[in-house]
Every structure is written in C-alpha cells, then in structure tokens.
Amino acid sequence: MTEKKYFVLMKGGKDTTQVFHSKQPRGAALKAATRGETDIKLRERGTGKVHVFKGEKNKVPKPANAPAWLPDMINKANVKKIRIDRI
C-alpha cells in the first residue's frame, strides 16, 4: 500500500495553514480547486518540490446515476499541471 503524501498550499511564496493529503499531487490540487483556488502551488512535505497547477470550478448537471439528495447542479473541479519548481 502506498502512503498518502501531504501537500501544503502556498500563497505569495509562503505556506498557508491549508494541508491536503492524497497519493498524487493532482488529487490534492483537485481538492484545492474545489475550494475555489485558481493559481495552485502545492509544496510536497519532506521534499523540495512545489507542484504548480491552474484550477477552475464549474457548475455542471448531476450525473444520471447520482443519488436523489444531490442537487441538480453540482460543482466540478478541473486542474492542469503547469510545472514542478524546486526549492
């Protein structure tokens, strides 16, 4: 079993208090995009890597197999990886 990695959201070159965990950096970036972040910089704890993403959040209709309690329109996050910076 692979371990989850911890990614700290950075703003203005400094760490924030928001930490996302996921096996892959993209999973953490999707979580950040869901919260409304657009310029996403995630510092991977324990390494010198900063993963840089562009993110967006769109309203889309719910899928056909969605549960009844889900609203008709849901938020869907989308991210695109730009680069990896080394610090």
Residue 1 is predicted with a pLDDT of 64
Please state, in angstroms and rounded to a whole number, the distance separating the CA atoms of residues 49 and 62: 36
Please state, in angstroms and rounded to a whole number, the distance separating the CA atoms of residues 3 and 69: 33
Its pTM stands at: 0.89
Q: Which domain holds residue 48?
A: 5-86
Number of domains in the chain: 1
**Amino acid identity, position 33:** A
Helix, coil or strand: residue 33: helix
Per-residue pLDDT of the chain (87 residues; tens, 9 = 90+): 678 999 999 999 899 999 999 999 999 999 999 999 999 999 999 999 999 999 999 999 999 999 999 999 999 999 999 999 998
